[in-house]
Amino acid sequence: MSEEELYQSDFFLEMVKQMRALDTYGVQDKQTPQKLMAPFIISKEARKLIPVIGDPDPSTISRVAAFYNAIAMLIEKECGLMARPSINITHEGFGTVHIIVGKLVALERVVRDIHRFGFETPSKMKDEGDKLLSVALALIGKHPEVAGL
């Protein structure tokens, strides 16, 4: 898949929406999708240089929220049921992410080292998002009566 096709996928279109929603003053309105996604792309070498001591940067926490909000919106788009993300991250950079559909916890993820949140390539970011989406949709498909409550 070419980079242009990658950025036209449902996942990246939703990620761009989420990142633009975080920009309340419109500072990044003219940024390309690639520029908006750049903070998510961190090489292994760069990741090792990020210290995990101290509180996570608020912009990093916002990126984590944007990533999981995008997955929740894609769940809604796919199954037509409201998906609510719940993100709880401590000041140490550890926590949990839940995406709840009806009364069903469609996705539960333990997150750690939030300071270093990112992906090596846009393709790996999309793969991770698609994997989490498919797991959640499979669970919803398995328990539609709980998801519909």
Give residue-wise pLDDT tens across range 21-64. 999 898 888 999 999 999 999 999 999 999 988 899 999 999 99
SS3 at position 85:
strand
pLDDT (0 to 100) of residue 149: 84
pLDDT (0 to 100) of residue 26: 87
- Find all residues with CB under 8 Å of 6, minimum gap 6, and list them: 12, 122, 123, 126
Predicted confidence (pLDDT) at residue 1 exceeds the cutoff of 90 = no
Containing domain of residue 23, as a range?
A: 3-147
Predicted confidence (pLDDT) at residue 96 exceeds the cutoff of 90 = yes
CA-CA-CA-CA torsion for 42, 33, 124, 135, nearest 10 degrees? 120
4 burial (CB, 10 Å; 0-12 / 13-18 / 19+) is exposed
Tell me the CATH number at 31. Answer: 1.10.3100.20
Q: How many domains does the chain have?
A: 1
